[in-house]
Chains A and B, each alone.
Chain A
Amino acid sequence: MSIEIEGKSYETDEEGYLANLSDWSHELAEAMARMDGCDLTDNHWEVVNFLREYYEEYQIAPAVRVLTKAIGKRLGKDKGNSKYLYELFPYGPAKQACKYAGLPKPTGCV
């Protein structure tokens, strides 16, 4: 599978996660979000950017509590919880936000 943007094609897995992390760009993230009917606001971008930073350091997406804590620090304590993250990413913050951030889908019993 692949996604097309401005005439260029990017390889993905069966569920639309980028096959090559290095293909990621802001435009690609926005295009993937648009395909799900989602417009990326600044708050979405805070999450996406944090995921990318964390992944860069640890080669894995952050655990939910690591993520909520970081988002609480960046956007205010009232937003540092999974309820808020589900409002931003209704398909599940771990999976949907990882997709827009160009990270592989978390596997396992999650």
Chain B
Amino acid sequence: MAVKAEFDIPVITNVPRTPALREGAMAHSRPFVAKPDHQEPLGFPGELVEDWHDRAIAKMGELLGSYRSLQVFMDACVKCGACTDKCHYYLGTADPKNMPVARQDLMRKVYRRYFTWAGKYFPWLVGAADLTEEVLEEWYAYYHQCSECRRCSVYCPYGIDTAEITMAGREILDSVGMGQKYSNEIIGKVFRIGNNLGLPEPALADTLEGLEEEVKEETDVDVRFPLDEQGADVLLVTPSADFFAEPHVDGLIGYAKIFHQAGIRWTLSSHASEAANFGLFIGSQGNMQRVALRIREAAMELGVKRIIVGECGHAWRVAYSYWNTLIGPFDFLDPDYPAPQHICEATYDLIRQGALRFNKENNDDKVVTFHDSCNVSRGSRMGSMPGGQFIIPREVIKACCNHFVDMRQETIHEGTFCCGGGGGLLTDDLLELRVKGALPRVQSLGEVIEEYGVTHMAAMCAICKSQFTKVLPYYGMGMDMVVSVHHLVGDALELGTDG
């Protein structure tokens, strides 16, 4: 039985369909606005400033000057339409403003009016428009209906990156005092307490101690979950959801078992008890750097030789694509290992070295498929081979599961669909958007359930796991279908024997 909702739940059809347009279908979708307490610690005005118009245009000018890419994206679109049916939010909501081109045009029309010759003098000829209060509201609504997943960019012949435009939109909104509560409150908690959850050190220590007891009870092996251990070789940074929620925590148990069995001395850090970096979502370089810096500080203080990143999609993109310029260089780490390294990559290497043994039969009650996370699939990589970010997690799953199948080709790898909750949209005030935006992924999941009897979908991103756990029941699917990749690993790993 599917969960009931106060909005229409999209119908899963036999073949995926591009919906008929429903203008304004999601015009009402608007996340809670950040309060002064959420804004000010990030360096943003507490509330909408009086001279918002001039400040917004000035900020846009600043961004156009500092990001050449944004200028190109504003100019390059030829309205070919290739992106129109690629966005999960458009496919799930039918709102034409959720076609990536139309969402971009909300900014492009203002850009033309203030920054191009034709738009300044003949706005009606070139689709240029003034920045009015209505336009600002529209930005707020629709730049929070893009999860910055960048699927549309894969199909754009000009390589226009919608995510960059959404980030610029949110940055302008923040700069005039119109931030989003969910993301900005969380970034403030990282600064204040050290992680997205607001989990203080004593609670973290207590939680980890409990996990040690739990694993001991289940396996009779002393698997440790060390915190702030000086001289460890590996610092593991992972999303704080891994400490707190299900199915995330079973992934954390899996990492601990791997380190135990491979004899790797590792530690978590209370100073950097969060891998996630919502600074990326709001397009704020300054905040992104400040969030990331804690990880460098912790690594240096603990004297580790390696940094491994747990199952978190955008954390990996920030780590892989931004860390070096944000908080590098990493010349204090062991040059024999990638810096940073993904947990799947570390596990994969250990498997290839023959350091781990698996009882694959332990997962024989499952037929598993795998959801590629956007931020891992597009804009980052893993391992030393092209496409490593697709190959490595699948190889890890196949090493510990006998039954694995992939979903439809155009919905995996670089064509993967967002879970519907990425990019700072994993909040209950956007539940309608999240349920509708999950449609394309749920559709292809439904196909492999039907055809191959798939029972579980593995994911390696905290947002994906929480999002699916929440929205699958709306489509009549069980929340317990969702598993962490390292849950599968942990369940099959032979503990306590020689590797």
Interface membership of A14, Cβ < 8 A: yes
Interface membership of A22, Cβ < 8 A: no
Q: A10-28 interface mask toward B, CB cutoff 8 Å, 1 = contact, 0 = none?
A: 0000110000000000000
Q: Are B198 and A110 in contact (CB under 8 A)?
A: no
| Cβ of B147 to closest chain A Cβ, rounded Å | 13
Q: Are A15 and B244 in contact (CB under 8 A)?
A: no
Q: Are B197 and A14 in contact (CB under 8 A)?
A: no
Q: Are B210 and A66 in contact (CB under 8 A)?
A: yes
Q: B400-428 interface mask toward A, CB cutoff 8 Å, 1 = contact, 0 = none?
A: 00000000000000000000000000101
**Which positions 80-110 of chain A face chain B at CB distance < 8 Å?**
82, 92, 94-95, 106-110
Of B182, B202, B244, B249, which one neighbours A58 at CB under 8 angstroms?
Answer: B202
Q: Are A107 and B245 in contact (CB under 8 A)?
A: no
Question: How many interface residues does A have (CB within 8 Å)?
Answer: 21
Interface membership of A59, Cβ < 8 A: yes
**Chain B residues closer than 8 Å to A34, beta-carbon distance:** none
Of A57, A63, A109, which one neighbours B466 at CB under 8 angstroms?
Answer: A109
Task: Tell me what chain A mostly uses at the interface: helix, strand, loop, or mixed.
Answer: loop
Q: Complex: how many Å from CA A64 to CA B469?
A: 14
Residue of B nearest to A95 (CB): B428
**Chain A residues closer than 8 Å to B429, beta-carbon distance:** 14-15
Tell whether A109 pairs with B426 under 8 Å between CB atoms, given A58-B202, A65-B214: yes
Q: Are B249 and A65 in contact (CB under 8 A)?
A: yes
Of A15, A64, A106, A109, which one neighbours B249 at CB under 8 angstroms?
Answer: A64
**Chain A residues closer than 8 Å to B465, beta-carbon distance:** 109
Residue of B nearest to A86 (CB): B479
Question: How many interface residues does B have (CB within 8 Å)?
Answer: 37
| Cβ of A74 to closest chain B Cβ, rounded Å | 15
Interface membership of A69, Cβ < 8 A: yes
Q: Complex: how many Å from CA A95 to CA B196?
A: 16
Q: Are B196 and A108 in contact (CB under 8 A)?
A: yes
Interface membership of A29, Cβ < 8 A: no
**Chain B residues closer than 8 Å to A82, beta-carbon distance:** 246
**Chain B residues closer than 8 Å to A64, beta-carbon distance:** 244-246, 249
**Chain B residues closer than 8 Å to A95, beta-carbon distance:** 428
Q: Are A110 and B189 in contact (CB under 8 A)?
A: no
Of B32, B200, B210, which one neighbours A60 at CB under 8 angstroms?
Answer: B200
Tell whether A59 pairs with B200 under 8 Å between CB atoms, given A65-B249, A107-B185: yes
Q: Complex: how many Å from CA A71 to CA B206?
A: 16
Q: Are A110 and B466 in contact (CB under 8 A)?
A: yes
Q: Complex: how many Å from CA A15 to CA B428?
A: 9
Q: Complex: how many Å from CA A65 to CA B248?
A: 11
Q: Are B206 and A108 in contact (CB under 8 A)?
A: no
**Chain A residues closer than 8 Å to B276, beta-carbon distance:** 108-109
Q: Are B207 and A65 in contact (CB under 8 A)?
A: yes
With most chain B CB atoms within 10 A of its CB, the pick from A60, A62, A63, A107 is A63
| Cβ of A108 to closest chain B Cβ, rounded Å | 3
Interface membership of B199, Cβ < 8 A: yes
| Cβ of B423 to closest chain A Cβ, rounded Å | 12
**Chain A residues closer than 8 Å to B493, beta-carbon distance:** none
Tell whether A108 pairs with B246 under 8 Å between CB atoms, given A15-B428, A65-B207: no
Residue of B nearest to A93 (CB): B246
Tell whether A106 pairs with B197 under 8 Å between CB atoms, given A14-B429, A15-B429, A60-B203: yes
Given A60-B199, A109-B462, A110-B244, 16 more A-B residue pairs with CB atoms under 8 Å apart are: A63-B210, A63-B243, A63-B244, A63-B249, A69-B210, A82-B246, A95-B428, A106-B197, A107-B182, A108-B186, A109-B196, A109-B240, A109-B426, A110-B245, A110-B462, A110-B466
Query: Interface residues, chain B, CB within 8 Å of chain A?
Result: 32, 182, 185-186, 189, 195-200, 202-203, 206-207, 210-211, 214, 239-241, 243-246, 248-249, 276, 312, 426, 428-429, 462-463, 465-466, 470
**Can you pick out 11 interface pairs between chain A and chain B where the beta carbons lie within 8 Å of each other?**
A59-B200, A59-B203, A60-B198, A60-B203, A69-B214, A94-B245, A107-B189, A108-B197, A108-B240, A109-B241, A109-B462
